Chain A
Amino acid sequence: MSTIPQWVKNLKPAGPQGTELLQQERNKSSVDVEQLSNFLFTKDGLARKQRVLEILQNDKVFDKSQNYFAGRVDRFETALARAKKLRQLHIKHNFSQDDKMVANELISEPGPYGLHESMFLITLRDQGTPEQHEVFLRKAEQYKFIGCYAQTELGHGSNVRGLETTATWNSDDKTFTIHSPTLTSSKWWIGSLGRTANHAVVMAQLIVDGKPMGPHPFVVQIRDMESHQPLENIHVGDIGPKFGYNTMDNGYLLFNKVKVPHISMLARFSSVDPKTGKYARPASPSLVYGTLTWVRSTIVMQAGGVLARGVTIATRYCAVRRQFQDRDAPEWQKGENQVMNYTTVQVRLLPLLATTFALHFTGKAMMALYAASQSKMSQDAGKAGGPQRGAGPEETNAGSDLLADLHATSCGLKSLASYTAVEGLEICRRACGGHGYSSFSGIGPWYADYLPTATWEGDNYMLTQQVARYLLKTARSVLKGVDPNTNDTTLILSTFLARQDTGAAFDVLGNDSDIVAAFAWRASFLTFEALKHRDEQKKPWNSLLVDFYRLSRAHSQYMIVKNFYETLQSSSPAQEGMGTETLDIMHKLFRLYALHTLEQEASEFYTSSAVTVRQIQLARANAVMKLLEEIRPHAVRLADAWAFPDWQLDSSLGRYDGKVYEDMFYRASEQNPLNRVTIDPYPDSPTLFKANEAAALKSRL
């Protein structure tokens, strides 16, 4: 806009400038940003990010400056244009899968192809037969079939077995009839379904000879390949605006007795024989859970980065923002205090900074575990399954099966990691004071898009039951004398049993490995307590849910502390070039995460006798406060190591160069379409907008 007067353009923020303040912060710290970034992402990963960033920045369609202003329909339209363009670039530049993931991270908005590219393709690949790959997958990979994954229904989310959509086998014409008997059976929340997809993988209750066989996946065409209108007897649309995710067309879908051919049922694991109409069960029930486990591991891995965005923004802004003079400061020290110097700010941000690394390392370790379980799983694939599909993998072969361990672990960690990231982002936003409320902070909109992660792929509270179930089962097997070295869970539970009468004396303030042991002790204690309630006192399952939630949380915190510790103890930091100074700070971050968590959960540590009340008091009054003071000078550099480009953060407050106020002002005065409108403010006049340059501008184009 050209109406910004020159005298406004000439104004500078009152000094010291944000750029100077951030420079001072960076000068004060000896953390080697490059070393740490390389350790987190590898050199290749960072180079990839840079390469993809340049490609995206050169295309006007990815310009983010109007994202925060537009209405729902416009936002979706732009998101679709971006999705198409990204696919075109993918082909033009011959993107790898990793390039593609990086591009999505940089664009940072859910896109209309999102579920096609993830769950639709994965399900076709994992659950389809070679023949079905030929018919469905090939076209899907060419984006001729654009699909989604329709599982959740209006009335049912986490409880998959309660789905109402039916698929009835018709032996006479070898077809299935897909039907939605009630309003609550409407598919709901399905990403990419509302306006984009022409196909869907539909999870429906399979009925053969009048007998329900449980939920199974069917590939169904839902829209015409030419007109893109819904097919007859199919009713499909977008479910409307949401807290976030408004660039995605989450949809609803209803079927009025729609017939689909035999090949529609994805039949790699279970199938209906077209000749005999006989139903064959899946070879191993746990195979179906593989995809979900992978998704959860990814969520844990991403949670660290998600939170790191908020922490980066808040850390930089709190170093630039100054408020009040220090009450105790000497007279000559005139200026206002950097907000980051307030201990009330440090105690909110620095433990979160430590958490970003804790989650990242834990996610990495889980991905490795997943890869290991994949190869084991394919070896086991030939084994016969149980008589019923009722049990989840956490109940099969507890204490030995690698997948069981991973599945249980992934449930609890997904729950804790996404919860921590969600809570942490809001804490970061509030730590930015008033400006945190502006969209230009970059935290609010990011938070809104991330939020559903806390409820989807299994509600966080519901998931914790699976962890508890697994831990109880393992505890029973340990009591029966299973080999302690079977897996980590059996090991910590056996250790606890062996030592419970001699007691624990963990030196949590002096010895890092004792910290890990104290977390293991508390999780084990809670496991056996819960077991006592359930098996000896015969308490109802429902009355123990709160205990189970706490148990799951304790176990996941143990896993995080353990993985953080082991990552730093291993040879890899040194191998990948991290110097001792930086490593030393990382150890401090480990202690901050662990002791801050210990202090937050003090009563459980105390009740389990893992530590004494005196130790908790010392942890709070001395250890944590001292760590805050020691880490404070390195905060900006530690955040820098996450290597977020400004383009990705899209935040005035979190700019790398600290030009916070200039950027806030620029976005408000020059990018804001509302300022192109002159209004009539008087209640008696029916005119609302006197002149609307924005609309005039739009109509000229």
Chain B
Amino acid sequence: MGVVLKKISKNYNGRTALKDLDLEVSRGEFHVLLGPNGAGKTTVLSVIAGLTKQDKGTVMVGGRNANGLPPEKRKIGFVFQDYALFPHLSVFDNIAYGLRVRRLKETEIARKIDYYLARVNIEKEKNKYPHQLSGGQKQNVALIRAIVTEPEILLLDEPMSDLDAPAREKTGQELKNFQQEMGITTICVTHDQDEAFSLGDRVSVLNEGKIEQIEAPHDLFYHPKTEFVARFVGAKNILKARIIKIQQHEAIVYINNECLVQPFKIRVKKYPIFEKGKEISLCIHPEKIVLKKPNEAVGNNLNRIRGKIVNKRSNGKTLRATIDIGGTEIHAAIPKALFDFRIHENVWVCFAPDAPHPLCGKRCRADEAGRRCLNEIRSIRS
């Protein structure tokens, strides 16, 4: 096992940063900790590195109990969010730092550094100082400095947060290549879900010092288990429902969101947790929603709800539409080429029975966003 955290708790001046956090990261895994600011992501890295001492719990690194080990003995590499390059040292000396600590011969140090600098095409910057480098170059130097010592564990704290989109894509690819070639167990912290899903073998979603869900990126994206995770990965459509009938492969549920003017029934794929009469929360990904014109035929295999488009905004190749279905809003992500609707136009909101999936069978927390009535939204807009 690469890294194991058992019941880690940490408080800062009475504020809980981590609460009984458990995490197991396999050897060679690229694990991403995803969560909003203040969720405790950086504290997790800091505890693993030994830079922050946890109040409770055990840290195992490479099968050893690391609780009593200082940072310099933990065999880790750390790429900090602000890169933390030594400002008084050149690129070469920054990278050589860890190797000189290990008393490697200067010829060996030079050979290693030349190899890595060539890999990321910054050989010419070898004698420059950090303030003379671009953000992407600094990130590369910080990464090489961390991996050149061949650590057992690589910790990355928002490694690409300061990079522009092209640099982010390039650096992400380099990062993934290095990680796979060297097989280093890697834990990366980010609040960017695209970054998390493109880099991670598995992704943990952190909320208020606890892990809400650990899953492979695809499963996390399409099958969030809690309302928080669903909203965080962009699955904003949360429907509260009561199961009224269970059939062989499907169930009929009664959608009864608090603000819904006229509750309605839909067909949903049957899940093992379903029981007749049970109250559940269903999540539908915006990508799984199809919009049709009122006069357009809708197949019997699809659920359809009458609605009106109240908002639309462009998001790269897709258009994100907000549809009022009578007191509750549904969000749809439609490819631009297929979007032929105007604001205030009536539409059918269609989705297959297997599109909604239950959030652990727990009822939705009635949070602010979920409880907003359309009338309130309209009054704000007016």
Chain A complexes with chain B: no
**Taking beta carbons and an 8 Å cutoff, which residues of B are in contact with A?**
none
**Taking beta carbons and an 8 Å cutoff, which residues of A are in contact with B?**
none
